[in-house]
């Protein structure tokens, strides 16, 4: 039985059991990671996961069942179980469920990959991490850590509307971090991001990071932070590095524009959104410099694919244009409820999980400035970089972020290093205060976005560049 | 012999055939059946189930270690698993910290198991959702009900083997009243112990008592934290503080033998008391066992797997997870233990308090804040366990022993050990409540706490 045959059999069984729509995904994923600490390899993991998940719509209610075996009898039983679960959902039924139309595709798609990361010898990959962590240890780190992760995913999608799509997506990335410890606190510096930078690319992404070249610097900075002055408390002009701004986008824009949250479908766990669909197209989200796109077509970015997990082809769309909120991340059913005519942002983190609204690549278009220009034009402020902690309320309004490192900015120049920099604010107030934005965009990858029940881990991309914000509260501490 | 132990034994045999008898081998086989029914806007919108077996193999050969796992458990799938793990173990870097395999040992007990929960149907879950929704009396509701059945087998080449099964059911829901939410949340071994009507009514009472909240200025307030909020303290203390690896690396606040907590606080991790979601063995085959982490305010232990235990000169405490080498071992069945705790179902109370013992704690507060739940808590520095997060699902001002008005959510930035430090715990509620973990692998059991001070650093407006 081929993968397509298995998915087709599951869909047919769900239809035979009463479903008016069904789709199924067979997925096979290989995952490899290695971690190193202080010059030694700490752990090597090689995981394989394969199975089928089938989704059935009976009346207005959904059901989903997943099995690891794609034998004919098993997948037919899975389709039947999905319909049975959907029927049970009807005991507490909601309004009629519809799906916005999508192109019925029969296609094959694969992400670009210059160097197959799974084909790179383990010894080469281990030498890289062991070497970088040894350099950090020798440069002053109490704990020097390095990690790479690789995902190699094949999936075959079939729907009762006629979709028949296979995709091969390869993702990888790596990072290093140095921690220095005193009697009372820890300080950490990372490169290029804590736990690394990731993309839908091959090992060439990791090679280009040049981890070894950055290892001494971050170890020295972690050590220096232990005796640096505390970030002052107050309200000031804030410059954020691109990596931190990527997370700011993720938390205070990406999640806020998820249509399932806006509709209340995540109210009890992930939360809702401060956004009201009645103001889509008119709400001022941020300053005129704020142009954010939803774009799963960016080559090499972590949220890139050919089709989402409902079979909708990848397409770029505006989320915020010149500061005005104009678009959402949607699925076929949530879009129908909202009266929208587009979907394309639904994904599952594996064969055993229900596809749901997820970020793809949600990020900024380039601004007109450079980081040097932003600093040069700042008379009094603080420059923070590299995320260390993040917290935001269930409406995606009230946030507090901590960064690994900060610097004073006085008279247009970077001054003293500052430790424990934090900043806090309210999403739209913060974004409306953005008065300078760099053109130096990097498509940062976030491989650990949690959402859903049962929990799912999403891979998202966030093009971002350094930017400046005014009147921001900084230096919150316990 | 269980199917999982039989499969583990087959994999051991295959390793011997491929790599000889000199290889140190451990095999973990886990069968998980998880079903979860979600509701929002007062109807079931997601309803999922899965059943799968996963096999994890770890080898140590000629000083090198490799591990691999698969959900492909056919004969050919298991053969592939063995072959590629053997290859990886021959090319992997040298592992100087290999702690050796767990020796044969008898189990100390197991978590809870209920056959009815293992066989629970979608209709049984939906019926409890129906009860929750109906009990909310017309308020909008959202949440989930979950059942899980976990069967496991372990075998290693040192002669240790173990098998067991456990179940857990959990329900977690909110009722919504013009933007104000109230929550009720409970975990149990048996689905039959979850009453959607009781939980829905409790959530609705909180939501109704939350209408028209006021914004209070930030500052330090005396607080009464309900069990859902206390569970967040236990979670963060467990993951960042009582983590044997973090302790060994001086990233934890823990100082063994020191009076770091109020004398009223005793913290116990007890996966084998017959109530928890736990197998008899951990991922290295070490028997799960009761571990007292804080005894009457004195920090007494941290959790170890074999690797962190060897580094610390200690034994494994049975807290190994699969493939968690980078993060370390930590407790996941933590509870506050106190002699006066009442294990019977909590007595309901009128108004927003979760139960009568919460109301009793409130009665002793001259001015303070009653907090139902915490949300999105993140650690600023593990060494101090300074945490920022927000309140959620119901906050009220307490004046002269009475709940006087609902309050808008606060942001806080607070050291958790400091909040529970000597002299800081002013009261402990009578009824411990088992709180489910959102990732279905842990359970935190806590009564309400009355604490002298909590550092609210911001209000709803920033």
A128 sits in which H/E element: helix A122-138
What pTM, to 2 d.p., does this model score? 0.97
- Between vectors from CA B372 to CA B443 and to CA B210, what angle results, nearest 5°? 145
CB contact under 8 A, A186 and B52: no
Over residues B25-39, mean pLDDT: 98
What is the per-residue pLDDT for A195? Answer: 86
The answer, for B402 touching chain A at a CB cutoff of 8 Å, is no
CATH assignment of the domain containing A85: 3.30.2290.10
Q: What percent of chain B has pLDDT over 90?
A: 89
Predicted confidence (pLDDT) per residue in B362-375, tens digit: 999 999 999 999 99
Which residues in chain A come in under a pLDDT of 50? none
Name the pLDDT band for B260 (thresholds 50, 70, 90): very high
Chain B residues whose CB is inside 8 A of the A184 CB are: 383-384
Final residue before a domain boundary, out of A225, A253, A280 = A225
- The CA distance from B359 to A321, in Å, is 51
- What are the backbone dihedrals phi and psi of residue A82, each rounded to the nearest 5 degrees, phi first? -60, -45
Contact B182, B324 (CB under 8 A): no
Residues B414, B438: contact at Cβ < 8 Å? no
Residues of A in contact with B440 (CB under 8 A): 454-455
Q: Do B47 and A41 touch (CB under 8 A)?
A: no
Q: Say yes or no: B95 contacts chain A, CB-CB below 8 A.
A: yes
Instruction: Tell whether omega for the bond before B351 is within 30 degrees of 0, i.e. cis.
Output: no
CA distance A31 to A41: 18
Contact across the interface for B48 and A388, Cβ inside 8 Å: no
Per DSSP bridges, beta strands A380-392 and A234-240 are parallel
Across the interface, of B41, B48, B411, the residue whose CB is closest to A264 is B41
Burial grade of B106 (CB within 10 A; 0-12, 13-18, 19 or more):
exposed
Q: CB B457 to CB A476 under 8 A?
A: yes
For position B354, what pLDDT does the model report? 87
Q: CA torsion, points A289, A295, A301, A303, in degrees to nearest 10?
A: 120
What is the number of structural domains in chain A? 2
Contact B461 A422 (CB under 8 A): no
B310 interfaces chain A, CB cutoff of 8 Å: no
Using CB atoms, pick whichever of A42, A130, A477 lies closest to residue B325.
A42
Place of tokens 């009645």: A278
Sheet holding B334-337, edge to edge: B298-299, B291-295, B266-269, B334-337, B443-446, B433-436
Q: What is the pLDDT of residue B219?
A: 97
Domain ranges of chain B: 3-208, 219-458
| ipTM for this model | 0.95
Determine the pLDDT at residue B242.
98
pLDDT of residue A384: 98
Q: B85: nearest CA in chain A?
A: A46
Task: Give residue B65's pLDDT band: very low, low, confident or very high (50, 70, 90).
Answer: very high
Q: 3-state class of A467 per DSSP?
A: strand
Mean pLDDT of chain B: 95
Inter-residue contact B188 to B434 (CB < 8 Å): yes
pLDDT at B335 over 80: yes
B300 pLDDT tier (thresholds 50, 70, 90): very high
User: pLDDT tier at B28 (50, 70, 90 boundaries)?
Assistant: very high
Task: Identify the pLDDT of residue B438.
Answer: 79
Mutate: best of A1, A85, A130, partner B, most B CBs <10 A: A85
* pLDDT digits 0-9 by tens, B96-155: 889 999 999 999 999 999 999 999 999 999 999 999 999 999 999 999 999 999 999 999
Q: Given an 8 Å threshold on Cβ–Cβ distance, is B462 in contact with A61?
A: no
Write down which residue in A205, A225, A245 finishes a domain: A225
The CA distance from B192 to B210, in Å, is 30
A89/B85 CB distance under 8 A:
no
* Calpha distance A219→B332 (Å, rounded): 33
Spatial CB neighbours of A248, under 8 Å, sequence gap ≥ 6: A240, A399, A401, A430, A464
- Domain hosting A427: range is 234-474
| Predicted confidence (pLDDT) at residue B349 exceeds the cutoff of 90 | no
Domain B3-208 of CATH type 3.30.2290.10 = yes
CA distances from A128 to A195, A430, B241 (A): 15, 40, 31
* Per-residue model confidence (pLDDT) at position B347: 66
Question: Does residue B12 contact residue B78 with C-beta atoms inside 8 Å?
Answer: no
Verify that A202 and A310 share a domain, yes or no.
no
Across the range B262-278, mean pLDDT stands at: 94
Say which of A53, A88, A398 has its CB closest to residue B458: A398
**The domain boundary residue, chosen from A162, A192, A225:** A225
Mean pLDDT over B157-173 rounds to: 97
Verify whether the Cβ–Cβ distance A41 to B93 is below 8 Å: yes
Same domain, A374 and A352: yes
**Interface contact B143, partner A, CB < 8 A:** yes
Q: Pick the residue of A92, A247, A431 with the most B CBs within 10 A to test the interface with B by mutation.
A: A92
Tell if the CB–CB gap between A88 and B121 is shorter than 8 Å: yes
Residue B16 clears pLDDT 70, i.e. is over it:
yes
DSSP readout, B315-357?
Answer: ---S---TT-TTT----SSEEEE-TT---SPPPP-SSSSSSHH
Dmax (CA) of chain B: 74
**Are B386 and A388 a contacting pair at CB < 8 A?**
no
Query: Are the C-beta atoms of residues B48 and A67 closer than 8 Å to each other?
Result: no
Cβ contacts (< 8 Å) between B140 and chain A: which residues?
264
Q: Kindly state whether residues A187 and A90 are assigned to the same domain.
A: yes
**Statement to judge: residues A163 and A261 lie in one domain:** no
pLDDT in tens, A128-170: 999 999 999 999 999 999 999 999 999 999 999 999 999 999 9
């Amino acid at each position: 039985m081929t993968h397509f045959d298995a998915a087709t059999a599951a869909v047919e069984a769900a239809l035979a059991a009463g479903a008016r729509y069904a789709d199924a995904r067979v997925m096979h994923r290989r995952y490899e990671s290695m971690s190193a600490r202080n010059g030694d390899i700490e752990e090597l993991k090689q995981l394989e996961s394969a199975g089928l998940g089938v989704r059935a719509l009976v009346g207005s209610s959904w059901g989903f069942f997943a099995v690891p075996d794609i034998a004919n009898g098993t997948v037919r039983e899975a389709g039947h179980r999905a319909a049975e679960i959907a029927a049970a959902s009807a005991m507490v039924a909601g309004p009629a469920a519809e799906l916005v139309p999508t192109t019925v595709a029969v296609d094959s798609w694969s992400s670009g990959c210059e160097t197959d990361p799974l084909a790179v010898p383990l010894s080469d990959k281990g030498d890289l991490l062991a070497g970088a962590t040894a350099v950090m240890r020798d440069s002053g780190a109490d704990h020097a850590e390095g990690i790479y992760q690789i995902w190699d995913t094949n999936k075959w999608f079939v729907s009762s509307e006629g979709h028949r799509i296979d995709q091969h997506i390869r993702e990888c990335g790596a990072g290093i971090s140095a921690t220095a410890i005193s009697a009372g606190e820890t300080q950490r510096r990372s490169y290029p991001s804590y736990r690394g930078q990731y993309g839908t690319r091959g090992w060439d992404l990791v090679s280009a990071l040049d981890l070894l070249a950055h290892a001494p610097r971050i170890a020295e900075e972690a050590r220096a932070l232990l005796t640096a002055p505390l970030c002052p408390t107050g309200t000031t002009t804030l410059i954020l590095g691109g990596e931190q701004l990527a997370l700011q986008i993720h938390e205070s824009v990406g999640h806020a524009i998820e249509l399932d949250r806006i509709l209340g479908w995540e109210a009890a766990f992930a939360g809702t959104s401060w956004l009201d669909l009645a103001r889509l197209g008119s709400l001022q989200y941020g300053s005129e410099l704020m142009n954010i796109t939803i774009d799963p077509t960016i080559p090499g970015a972590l949220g890139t694919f050919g089709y989402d997990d409902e079979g909708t082809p990848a397409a770029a769309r505006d989320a915020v244009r010149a500061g005005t909120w104009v678009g959402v991340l949607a699925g076929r059913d949530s879009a129908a409820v909202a009266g929208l005519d587009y979907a394309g942002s639904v994904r599952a983190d594996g064969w055993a999980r229900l596809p749901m609204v997820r970020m793809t690549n949600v990020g900024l278009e380039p601004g007109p400035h450079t980081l040097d220009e932003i600093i040069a034009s700042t008379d009094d402020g603080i420059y923070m970089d590299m995320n260390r902690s993040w917290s935001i309320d269930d409406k995606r309004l009230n946030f507090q972020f901590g960064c690994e490192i900060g610097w004073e900015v006085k008279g247009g120049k970077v001054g003293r290093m500052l430790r424990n920099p934090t900043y806090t604010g309210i999403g739209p107030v913060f974004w409306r205060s953005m008065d300078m934005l760099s053109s130096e965009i990097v498509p940062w990858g976030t491989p650990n976005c949690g959402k859903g029940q049962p929990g799912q881990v999403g891979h998202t991309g966030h093009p971002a560049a350094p930017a400046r914000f005014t009147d921001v509260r900084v230096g919150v501490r316990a | 012999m269980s199917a999982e132990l039989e499969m583990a034994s087959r994999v051991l045999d295959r390793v011997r055939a491929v790599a000889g008898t000199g290889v140190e081998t451990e095999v973990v086989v886990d069968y998980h059946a998880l079903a979860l029914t979600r509701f929002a806007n007062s109807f079931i919108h997601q309803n999922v189930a899965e059943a799968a077996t996963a096999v994890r193999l770890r080898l140590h050969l000629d000083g090198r270690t490799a591990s691999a796992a698969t959900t492909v458990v056919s004969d050919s799938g298991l053969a592939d698993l063995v072959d590629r793990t053997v290859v990886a173990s021959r090319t992997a870097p040298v592992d100087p910290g290999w702690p050796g395999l767990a020796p044969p040992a008898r189990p100390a007990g197991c978590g809870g198991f209920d056959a009815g929960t293992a066989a629970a149907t979608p209709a049984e879950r939906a019926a409890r959702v129906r009860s929750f929704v109906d009990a909310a009396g017309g308020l909008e509701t959202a949440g989930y009900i979950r059942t899980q059945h976990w069967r496991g087998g372990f075998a290693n080449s040192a002669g240790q083997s173990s098998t067991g099964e456990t179940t857990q059911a959990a329900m977690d829901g909110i009722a919504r009243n013009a933007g104000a939410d109230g929550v009720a949340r409970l975990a149990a071994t048996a689905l039959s112990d979850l009453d959607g009507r009781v939980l829905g009514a409790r959530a609705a009472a909180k939501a109704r008592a939350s209408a028209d909240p006021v914004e209070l200025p930030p500052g330090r307030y005396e607080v009464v934290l309900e069990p859902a909020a206390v569970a967040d303290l236990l979670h963060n203390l467990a993951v960042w503080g009582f983590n044997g690896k973090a302790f060994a690396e001086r990233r934890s606040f823990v100082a063994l033998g020191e009076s770091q907590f109020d004398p009223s606080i005793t913290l116990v991790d007890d996966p084998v008391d017959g109530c928890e979601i736990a197998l008899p063995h951990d991922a290295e085959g070490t028997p799960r066992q009761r571990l007292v982490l804080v005894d009457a305010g004195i920090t007494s232990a941290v959790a170890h797997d074999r690797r962190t235990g060897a580094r610390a000169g200690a034994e494994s405490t049975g807290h190994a997870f699969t493939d968690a080498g980078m993060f370390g071992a930590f407790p996941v069945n933590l509870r506050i233990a106190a002699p006066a705790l009442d294990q019977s179902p909590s007595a309901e109370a009128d108004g927003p308090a979760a139960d009568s013992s919460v109301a009793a704690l409130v009665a002793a507060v001259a001015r303070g804040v009653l907090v139902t739940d915490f949300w999105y808590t993140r650690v600023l520095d593990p060494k101090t366990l300074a945490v920022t997060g927000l309140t959620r699902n119901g906050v009220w001002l307490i004046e002269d022993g009475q709940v006087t008005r609902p309050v808008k959510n606060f942001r806080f930035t607070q050291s958790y050990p400091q909040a529970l430090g000597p002299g800081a715990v002013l009261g402990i509620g009578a009824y411990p409540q088992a709180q489910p973990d959102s990732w279905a692998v842990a359970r935190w059991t806590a009564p309400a706490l009355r604490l002298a001070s909590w550092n609210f650093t911001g209000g709803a407006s920033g």
